[in-house]
Amino acid sequence: MAPISQTRASKRAPATASKPQRTTNRPTAKESSGGSDSDNQASKSRRKRVYDSDALDDESEDENAQGSSRVSTNKKGKRTKASNKSPKKASAAKRPRKKAKASSDAADVDEEDAEIELAEGQKVIGVIVQAPKTGRVPPGQISRNTLNFLTQLKDPDCNDRDWFLRLEPVYRLAEQEWKAFVEAFTDSLAEVDGQIPPLPPKDVIHRIYRDMRFSNDKTPYKTGFSASFSRSGRKGIFAHFRPGDSLIAAGLWCPGRNELETVRSSIKRSPRRLREAIAAPDFIEYFGEPTPRKDGGRRSIFGMEDELKVAPKGVEKNHPDIDLLKCRSFAVSHRFLDSEVLDPDFKEKLASVAKVLRPFVHCLNDMLTISNDDDSDDGEDEDEEGTEVGE
């Protein structure tokens, strides 16, 4: 009977006609059965080494002939052959990220040599513009850098999301500067008007993002910074900073029907306090004479776009206070030059104008306040909403 090791070796010998067979001195059955254990062990070791050599030779020849085919021997002596098929490429839908490689130059390594990893659906829109290092001002002032950024934002070609993303570091610096200015101005404002609480900037500053739902202008960003101050936080004195059109305003802007009727009823009873407020000399200095212009232009609280051309319903056209009763908004505004805005003492000048506005704002607040025993929180809410001011 032939040894098991010989049978396995013969079965696994490569069947290649062109390759000469290797011969070994194989023991007979008698030698195998009658030999010592040490001789048998040595014989098995020699036979195994012969087979391993053959397998390695076969593997080398197969790799040269078939390229990527591989032959290996496991612990039991069995040969396993790997497929030469290349792995399937992942489909574009399964690839979470893709790499866009720029051309490499061995002589010069620059940004084009770096790998740019883009998530699915992303694209390169341009180079990020860093915030300016020069021209900065102490907290409480407006810098030329902020003015330049808002000037660029007024250009419709720049007022889009791609441009804004590229200049986001510049915007963040301008926003931080505006918040510091508002914080400093709030302290000055609280000194001249005790009804205005010293709220943090985040509670009074308006967002730069526009509401485009009901507007024909689809530019996504406002072209200026703004904030509102009052005893309720966001309604009352309105400060707006925009290149060439910075202003401070206050009063009642486009009130609701009930609020407007309340103000008109107060004017019918006694218009004296309101007339005194808008006829004060310092008020006239900033907001103009308290009489309507003949050409219908804007002056003091008169000449607003929503002003009535005729007497309101239920009011005679020759009423002594018909000029006040035709008004639908009771608001005033004063504009500043860019040079005034950039002045280090600009917040003090704003506070001085707010001091002039205080009697006018308090008069309107008192007109809207229902002074009877049935006062409720709803009445206070109407008062707060009725003091909103816009451009």
Residue 92 has pLDDT above 50, yes or no: no
Residue 19 has pLDDT above 70, yes or no: no
* 196 neighbors 235 (Cβ within 8 angstroms): no
- As a three-state string, the secondary structure of 290-323 is CCCCCCCCCECCECCCCCCCCCCCCCCCCCCCHH
Question: Which residue do the tokens 């098995």 mark?
Answer: 44
3-state secondary structure at position 59: helix
Q: What is the structure's pLDDT at 12?
A: 45
Q: What is the structure's pLDDT at 238?
A: 86
Mean pLDDT of the chain: 76
Mean pLDDT of all residues in 161-171: 94
Top pLDDT among 357 and 23 is at 357
CA distance linking residue 326 with residue 19, whole number of Å? 114
Percent of the chain with pLDDT over 70: 63
Chain-centre distance of CA 239, in angstroms?
Answer: 24
H/E segment holding residue 347: helix 346-368
* 158 neighbors 221 (Cβ within 8 angstroms): no
Q: How confident is the model at residue 69 (pLDDT cuts 50, 70, 90)?
A: very low
Mean pLDDT of all residues in 36-61: 51
CA distance linking residue 332 with residue 324, whole number of Å? 14
3-state secondary structure at position 32: helix
Q: What is the structure's pLDDT at 101?
A: 41
Which amino acid type is present at position 284? I
Residue 141 has pLDDT above 60, yes or no: yes
CA distance linking residue 386 with residue 368, whole number of Å? 7
Give how far Cα 199 sits from Cα of 35, 195, 207, 232, 237, Å. Answer: 104, 12, 16, 10, 14
For 170, phi then psi, to 5°, come to -65, -40
Mean pLDDT of all residues in 183-203: 91
Residue 94 has pLDDT above 60, yes or no: no
**Which DSSP symbol is given to 97?**
E
Mean pLDDT of all residues in 319-347: 95
User: Which of 17-26, 54-63, 94-103, 233-242 is the most confident on average?
Assistant: 233-242
Mean pLDDT of all residues in 266-287: 96
CA distance linking residue 386 with residue 252, whole number of Å? 6
CA distance linking residue 176 with residue 142, whole number of Å? 11
* 221 neighbors 161 (Cβ within 8 angstroms): no
H/E segment holding residue 331: strand 330-336
Q: What is the structure's pLDDT at 231?
A: 75
Q: What is the structure's pLDDT at 117?
A: 75
What tokens were used for 384? 């707060």
For 40, phi then psi, to 5°, come to -60, -40
* 131 neighbors 169 (Cβ within 8 angstroms): yes
